[in-house]
Amino acid sequence: MKKKLLITSFCMEIGGIERSLIELLRGLELSHIDVDLLLCSHTGPLLREIPQGIRLLPENAKLATFLRPIAAIAAQHPLFACARVLAKQKIRRRFPCPPYGSDAVVYALLQAYWSNSNRLLPRVSDDYDAVISFQWPHHLAAYHCAAPRKLAWVHTDFTKTTLDITADLRVWERFDGIACVSQGVLESFCHVHPSLRERCFVFENLLDAAALRERAAAYSPSDFLRPPGGSILLTVGRNCYAKAFDNALRIAQKMKAMEVRFHWYIIGYGGDEQALPRLARELDVTDCFTFLGKRENPAPYIAACDLYVQPSRYEGKAVTVMEALTLGKPVAVTDFPTAAAQVRDGYDARIVPLENDGAAESIAALLNDPAERRRLAENAAAGDYSSSAQLVKLYEHLFLQKG
């Protein structure tokens, strides 16, 4: 008899977690497992990429409130609206002067939203052999889905979150296994929750190389303009503090002062999308830096760039870096805490200093050394970043281990 698996997540907007979920769904062996997918909101262009054979459960109006503004849900779901208002008040008292640009308040606010709304959440059928909660916060799967085995995912450097640790631990303790997307992510999570180390294991993001190459060949970007004798740099991600697009602008300013010929493009959305263009004007880099906004399929842009750059302050394991390596592109990542778990420095990528002066000098040196970029690209192209062998490990955690 087939095993029954439920996977929960938020939506299918364009992002690393959502892309990682698509790759996981593609990798599951559906001849042995029936898979149901429960999304809080049926929104996002990646809905179209959910593989055949995966059953998308109907959207639940209560769960959809988490992805809508408070004013939009007040009439039909006043209890959820009230819970979120109270959560906002609580976090404002806790962070009267939040750190500028930090994600601390975002994590704390999400935790408070879900904690305050937990008793209002709908019950999910308990006719499953296992449940995967793919995106934090994990309250829905922890408290409202019954199954013999429960797994939850960690996608970020947990030391960078500012949470109510005691309340957070109570949620995690309801899971039998905790999948971390890299060894660095596992170590950061266990630094925050050392009592959970025995439940943690590494499960890296999956990647279907053939499907990625097919997406990369879908079209040729018409909005890439190469400067005479220069290089095209690319960064892809959501506009948030962790991705450090503001630092990318400052690095670009320093490289421009060094008379390096380049044009840096960013594909992404979110946050204050007007703030970065304003900063670009202030730093006088609009002639060498362009924000392209959202692209449903950024793979052709990755394939067309000369250097893929990940300027993040911190990461879990960036899906876009894996994609760039798979497409045989030279890569530069900043020296965030989990960078060494993402790339092999000096072999398939360069880890450059986290501070802007050092990053600018290292990236400029790489742009001025085409032979080194070719060597990195050749090593990357020869690698296997699919991580598909991990699926056996996942099945063991889901269906073979005893609670």
Neighbours of 388 (CB within 10 A): 14
* Whole-number pLDDT of residue 101: 52
* Whole-number pLDDT of residue 403: 43
- What are residue 251's DSSP bridge partners? none
Which CATH number is 210-382 given? 3.40.50.2000
Which pLDDT band holds residue 227 (cuts at 50, 70, 90)? confident
Cβ-proximal residues to 167 (8 Å cutoff; 6+ apart), any chain: 111, 115
154: pLDDT strictly greater than 80: yes
* Whole-number pLDDT of residue 94: 83
Q: What angle do CA 316, 377, 202 make, to 5 degrees?
A: 25
Summarize the confidence of residues 218-225 as an average pLDDT: 90
* Whole-number pLDDT of residue 102: 62
In contact, 206 and 290? CB cutoff 8 Å: no
From first CA to last CA, the distance across the chain in angstroms is: 21
Q: To the nearest whole number, what is the mean pLDDT of the chain?
A: 93
Summarize the confidence of residues 279-285 as an average pLDDT: 96
Domain spans, the chain: 3-60+122-206+387-400, 210-382
399: pLDDT strictly greater than 90: no
Summarize the confidence of residues 366-386 as an average pLDDT: 95
Q: How is residue 245 written in tokens?
A: 């697009």
**143 membership: H or E segment, kind and range:** helix 139-144
For residues 338 and 212, the model is more confident at 212
Residue-wise pLDDT for 53-103, tens only, equals 999 999 999 999 999 999 999 999 999 999 999 999 998 888 776 554 567
- What are residue 236's DSSP bridge partners? 267
- Entry pTM: 0.89
Q: How far is CA 229 from CA 260, 290, 361, 374, in A?
A: 10, 18, 19, 17
Counting residues of the chain whose pLDDT is more than 70, the rounded percentage is 97
Residue-wise pLDDT for 291-319, tens only, equals 999 999 999 999 999 999 999 998 888 99
Q: How is residue 66 written in tokens?
A: 């988490």
Q: How far is CA 175 from CA 10, 138, 199, 271, 305, in A?
A: 18, 9, 8, 32, 41
Q: What is the DSSP letter of 60?
A: P
* Whole-number pLDDT of residue 226: 85
Q: Do the domains at 3-60+122-206+387-400 and 210-382 have one common CATH topology?
A: yes
Which pLDDT band holds residue 393 (cuts at 50, 70, 90)? confident
Q: How is residue 160 written in tokens?
A: 């960078």
Q: Which of 51-55, 94-98, 247-251, 383-387 has the lowest mean pLDDT?
A: 94-98
Q: How is residue 279 written in tokens?
A: 């900063």
Indicate the fold that domain 3-60+122-206+387-400 takes in CATH. Answer: Rossmann fold (3.40.50)
* Whole-number pLDDT of residue 52: 95
Amino acid at 313: R
* Whole-number pLDDT of residue 223: 87
For residues 103 and 12, the model is more confident at 12
* Whole-number pLDDT of residue 98: 59
Q: How is residue 349 written in tokens?
A: 């990528």
